[in-house]
Structure 1
C-alpha cells in the first residue's frame, strides 16, 4: 500500500511539475470571450470579472497508459492557480475519480483539449457525488465566486465527454442504476461558461444548484447512441434552487428536456436555443415531494427553435396524491406555485405538442388527479408568437392545457398561436379546468386518455 501511495504521489508530481506556463504556450490560448446576456437579462447587472494574472497559468500534463486518472493532477492545478490565475486543460484527460471544485475564487478555466470521464457505471454509481433530489449524482462539481470556463469551438476539441453508452446499455437490464450528471455547477456566484462541446452524458448534461448569476452561452450539446440503445434522460440544462440564470445561444440534440426549471428556480432567461429531439422547454416537474414547497417564477423563454420533440412549451406538475411513475421517479403532493412565465417567439417543427400544461404528471389516471388536485398552482403564464407545424401523432390536436381543478390555474394567456397540423385541418387543443377566454386557440374537451410515456 505504501509503495502504491508513493507511486501515486510521484505521478501527481509529474502531472503538475510544469504547471506554470511559458509565454509561447500562453500565446496560443483563446482570449476570454466577452459574454453578456442578450437580448434579455435577469434584471440585475452581471457581476464584473477582473482580468487574471498574466503570470499565473497552470497547465496539466495528461497521464499516459490505460488506467490513468488525471483528477489528482487537475485538482492540484486548480489549487495552485486559484485566486487570480488561469487553469489550462489543453490535452486529452481521463477522469477516473470524483472532483470537488466548489471552492474556486477569481479563476479562469480554459478547456481546449478533452475531458473524458472513465466509462465504469458501477464505479461511478458508488463514488459519484450524491444528491437527494431525484436521485441525482455527479462526476464533478464546480462552484465558488467569479469563475469563467471557456473553450474554442473553432478548433475542435474543447470537449467534455461522459461516455454514456455503457450506462445506457446497462440501464436496459438495471433500471435503478445511478448515473452521473456530466457537469454540476453548485454554489456558484458569478460564473460564465461558453464555447464548449458536451457529449453523451450518462444522465443529464448539466445541473445548476444553489447558484446565482450564472451565464451559459455558445455550447454544443449532443447525446447519440451508437447501437440504437435508448438514451436515458439527457436533459440539456436543469436549474434547481438558483436565481438569476441565463442560458443562451446554444444547440442541443438530446432525448429529454432541452431545459428544465426544477424547484425554486427564479429569474431565469433562456434564449436563442436550437433544440432537437427533446421533451421541450419544461417548467418542472414540480410538486414531487410531499410537504416541500416549490416556487418557480419570473422566467422568460425567448426565440426557441424546437424540432422533433414530444413537447414545445411545457409545464408539468405532480398531482395532489403520491404516485409511482418510474423505478427511480415517483412522488406527488408537494406545495408551491408557478408564476410569471413567458414563452415568446417559438418555432415548431414536427413536435407532438406545441403546448402542454399538466397537473397530473407521472399519473396515468386523470380521474384520480381530478379527485386529488395538485397542491401547486399555475398563474400568470403567457405563450405568444408560436408558429410552425406539429407532428402527425395527435393530428388535428396540437396541444393540451389541462389543470386538475378550476382554482389551480389562473391567467393563462395564449396569443398569436399560428401552429398548424399536417392534415391542414383547423388545429385544436385539449382544454380543461382553465379559462379559455384568454386563449387564442380552439379548445375542446379532452376526448381520449393522455399519452403518459413522458409523464
Structure 2
C-alpha cells in the first residue's frame, strides 16, 4: 500500500526523499496525505506502480514542489466522495514538477454518485510532461474497472482550479479531459499557457483506469 501515509497531520515538511517500487506493482502509492493541514512536500523523487502523490479528503494548505514522478500514475486529488461526511479539500499547490512516462498526469477524481463536499483553490503550475498518458484530467465519473454503477451525479463541487504553464509530450490524443458533474458543474477552471504535443509514433490509447 502507501509508502508514506500522512494522516491527521499539521505543519509537517518532507524534503529530499526518494521512493522506489516496481512500475507493475499495484496500489503502491508513494505519498498519501489526508485530513492534514500545512504540509510542505519538496525535492522528491518517486517511482512507483500507482500515484506518486495522492491527496485525500481533508487535505488543506498543501504545498508540493520540485518533484520528479514516474513511472507511476501521476499526482492525484481523490478519489473523493466515496464515503459520507468527507472533509473538503482546499489550498493545494503543485509547482516545478516533472512527470515522466506516467499513466496519468495531473488529476482530480470523484465518485458518482457521491455525498456533498468541495475541492477549491487548486493550482498546478510549471509542470514538465515527458511521454505522459492523459496529462490533465478532471473526472467526476470515476469508476475503476467499471466495478460500480453510476446511478447519479457526483455532489463534489470543484471550483477555482488552475492549470498554468504545463508543457511537454503526451502519449494520448486528448491532452485535457474535463468531465464535470451535471448537477454540480465545475466552476472557475483556468487553463493557460499549455503546450502539450502528442508523440504519434509512441501513441497509446487513452485509458480511464484506475486502481
- Superposed pair shares fold, TM > 0.5: yes
Per the TM alignment, residue 294 of structure 1 is displaced from its structure 2 partner at its CA by 2.9
Per the TM alignment, residue 335 of structure 1 is displaced from its structure 2 partner at its CA by 2.1
Partners of 2:65 and 2:13 in 1: CA distance: 11
Gaps of 5+ in 2: none
TM-score (norm 2): 0.91
Does the aligned pair in 1 maintain the 2:145–2:209 contact within 8 Å? no
Out of 88, 96, 118, the position equivalent to 1:337 is 118
1:405 alignment partner in structure 2: 182
Gaps of 5+ in 1: 1-202, 321-332, 425-447
Does the aligned pair in 2 maintain the 1:218–1:250 contact within 8 Å? yes
Work out whether 1:379 is the aligned partner of 2:139: no
TM-score (norm 1): 0.43
Per the TM alignment, residue 353 of structure 1 is displaced from its structure 2 partner at its CA by 1.1
Work out whether 1:268 is the aligned partner of 2:48: no
Q: Alignment partner of 2:135: what SS?
A: strand
Q: 1:283 to 1:218 in 2, by over 3 A?
A: same
Work out whether 1:348 is the aligned partner of 2:146: no
Greater relative contact order, per chain length (Cα 8 Å cut-off, separation 6+): 2
Does the aligned pair in 2 maintain the 1:212–1:244 contact within 8 Å? yes
Bigger fraction of residues in strand: 2
Does the aligned pair in 2 maintain the 1:275–1:307 contact within 8 Å? yes
Partners of 2:195 and 2:183 in 1: CA distance: 26
Partners of 1:453 and 1:360 in 2: CA distance: 12
Out of 72, 85, 108, the position equivalent to 1:315 is 108
Task: Say how many residue pairs are matched.
Answer: 206
Per the TM alignment, residue 407 of structure 1 is displaced from its structure 2 partner at its CA by 3.4
1:251 alignment partner in structure 2: 45
1:453 alignment partner in structure 2: 209
Does the aligned pair in 2 maintain the 1:294–1:334 contact within 8 Å? no
1:219 alignment partner in structure 2: 17
Per the TM alignment, residue 334 of structure 1 is displaced from its structure 2 partner at its CA by 2.7
Partners of 1:262 and 1:406 in 2: CA distance: 22
Q: Alignment partner of 2:142: what SS?
A: coil
Per the TM alignment, residue 363 of structure 1 is displaced from its structure 2 partner at its CA by 5.6
Q: Which ranges of 4 or more aligned residues in structure 1 deviate by more than 2 Å?
A: 450-453
Partners of 2:196 and 2:12 in 1: CA distance: 33
Q: Alignment partner of 2:2: what SS?
A: coil
| Structure exhibiting the larger radius of gyration computed from Cα positions | 1
1:390 alignment partner in structure 2: 170
| Equivalent residue runs for 1:43-442 within 5 Å | 203-224=1-22, 230-289=24-83, 291-320=84-113, 333-362=114-143, 369=150, 372-391=152-171, 394-395=172-173, 397-405=174-182, 407-423=184-200
C-alpha deviations, 1:37-87, integer Å up to 9, x for none?
Answer: xxxxxxxxxxxxxxxxxxxxxxxxxxxxxxxxxxxxxxxxxxxxxxxxxxx
Per the TM alignment, residue 260 of structure 1 is displaced from its structure 2 partner at its CA by 0.8
Partners of 1:222 and 1:387 in 2: CA distance: 25
Does the aligned pair in 2 maintain the 1:314–1:356 contact within 8 Å? yes
